[in-house]
Amino acid sequence: MTVASITRMDSLNSDVFYDILRRVDGATLASAACACAAFKAISNEEKLWEDVCYSMWPSTKRDDVKTLISSTGGFKKFYADCFPLIVNKTVPEFGWGDYSEYPEEWTEAEYYGDYDELESVSPSDFVSIVDIKYKEKTICSKVLWGIPNASVQNGWFSDCPFRVDLFSYASRDEDHPGEVTLSVSDGLPPVTSLERERKDGKLWQELHNGIRVSWIMVNLKVKQAANLSSWYAVDGQRHWPTSEDYMLHFGSVVPVKDISPSHVVKCIITLRFQVTDIEGSGTHTTLNLTEICMKLGNMEGGHVNGRNSLFVLKEALSCDRSKDYGLVLESCRLYSKVQSEIIEEKIRYENRLERLYVVGGITAFVLLCCYFL
């Protein structure tokens, strides 16, 4: 920026600057703060960041959420915490045999710490702020205070796989078609028949590329927040043979070196859509969003239980973050690769044990027969 341009900018009214900056997105607003002293001063205005957050996460317009954000440092801090995504640049080459370094009596649950430490983490500490968009249209905004049906004194929650359901309907229940729908009028490609969709997959591809998910978790006690989602889908699947159900998976790989034996846990956010109202013309093609849930998976292909999930969620809010979606996607791909290798190794190990048992049984039988003969 030249001296002449700076002089011309200094002569402008600050209201003009404010009017300019209130029209830009968060990334541009943050960059503008580095351009000149005038922009830096105006970019600290909390109202600008409030508008940015409203645009990105419509659920932040709620009065209870606005109060929550104000109590945790304000909208500028909230954006800085939740716009970048969680990244884990290294997924350890962790094999099934590596568990041998832990004593046999040392279960994974005990690795997460003793019950006295759990007093510092409670299900009521967490707030989920969830926004789902199809292209530029917001199709769902939900806020969950606490973790539903959870209590550290509740054995059911502590011992069962951790899962948070934003909402869920029976996929074939005509009385509950779902509170969120998408149709051709929203930009979906028409589906004239499931057979044709099975071949070209246009609707599936449109969903995979068009749906955006943000799942922000806030810890009320430590006043930290992070986006556990990946914005874009990292993978998904169509349910055969009907092809009426589509599942998209979002999430992030959370480094938890001092918490889990595998040092990483994957946050898995699943959306399930069901295709309805298919007719020959395709003009009435409709999708119902029938399920939104979040789970935590481990390297063995299992799920983290409720008790241990509280430690993972608390750790996730202080993880490294990046605006580079490529890093997030690469982290998820590497996690899946290592996980597949671990599961395959586990299967080979169990098969070897099974063969040893069989051989041992045959040997014992032969010796027994020889003894009686």
Question: pTM value?
Answer: 0.81
Q: Which comes out higher in pLDDT, residue 187 or 217? A: 217
CATH 1.20.1280 fits 3-83, yes or no: yes
Helix axes 46-56, 75-82, angle to 10 degrees: 40
Which uninterrupted H or E stretch holds 346?
helix 325-372
Which ranges in 235-305 belong to alpha helices (H)? none
Res 171: pLDDT: 43
pLDDT at 310 over 50: yes
Closest CA to 257 of 94, 96, 123, 126: 94
Angle (nearest 5°) at CA 52 between 13 and 144: 150
What string of DSSP letters covers 48-103? HHHHHHHHH-GGGGSHHHHHHHHHTT-HHHHHHHHSSEE--S------GGGGGGS-
* Mean pLDDT, the chain, whole residue set: 79
Looking at residue 109, its pLDDT comes to: 47
**Amino acid code (one letter) for 20:** I
Sign of the Cα pseudo-torsion (91, 97, 98, 104, in order): positive
User: Lowest-pLDDT range, 119-123, 219-223, 282-286, 361-365?
Assistant: 361-365
Cα distance between residue 232 and residue 135, in whole Å: 11
User: Helix (H, G, I), strand (E, B), or coil: what is residue 211?
Assistant: strand
Contact call for residues 314 and 218 (beta carbons, < 8 A): no
pLDDT, mean of residues 85-111 = 56
CB 294 within 8 A of CB 132: no
Report the 10 Å Cβ neighbour count for 103: 8
The count of residues in the chain is 373
Residues whose CB falls within 8 Å of the CB of residue 363, separated by 6 or more in sequence, listed in order: none
Query: Residue 202's pLDDT is what?
Result: 87
pLDDT band, very low/low/confident/very high, at 371 (cuts 50, 70, 90): low
Min mean pLDDT across 172-181, 264-273, 276-285 is at 172-181
Residue 243's Cβ-count burial label (10 Å; 0-12, 13-18, 19+) is middle
Q: What percentage of the chain reaches a pLDDT higher than 70?
A: 74
**Which of 264, 255, 9, 110 is CA-nearest to residue 1?**
9
What confidence tens digit (pLDDT) does each residue in 164-210 have? 998 755 444 545 555 788 888 888 888 887 778 878 888 888 999 99
User: Which residues belong to CATH 1.20.1280 in the chain?
Assistant: 3-83
CA 301 from chain centre, in angstroms, equals 16
> Which of 45 and 58 is assigned the larger pLDDT?
58
Q: Write the burial class of residue 29 (CB in 10 Å: 0-12 exposed, 13-18 middle, 19+ buried).
A: buried
Q: Using alpha carbons, select from 29, 34, 144, 40 the residue that is nearest to residue 83.
A: 29
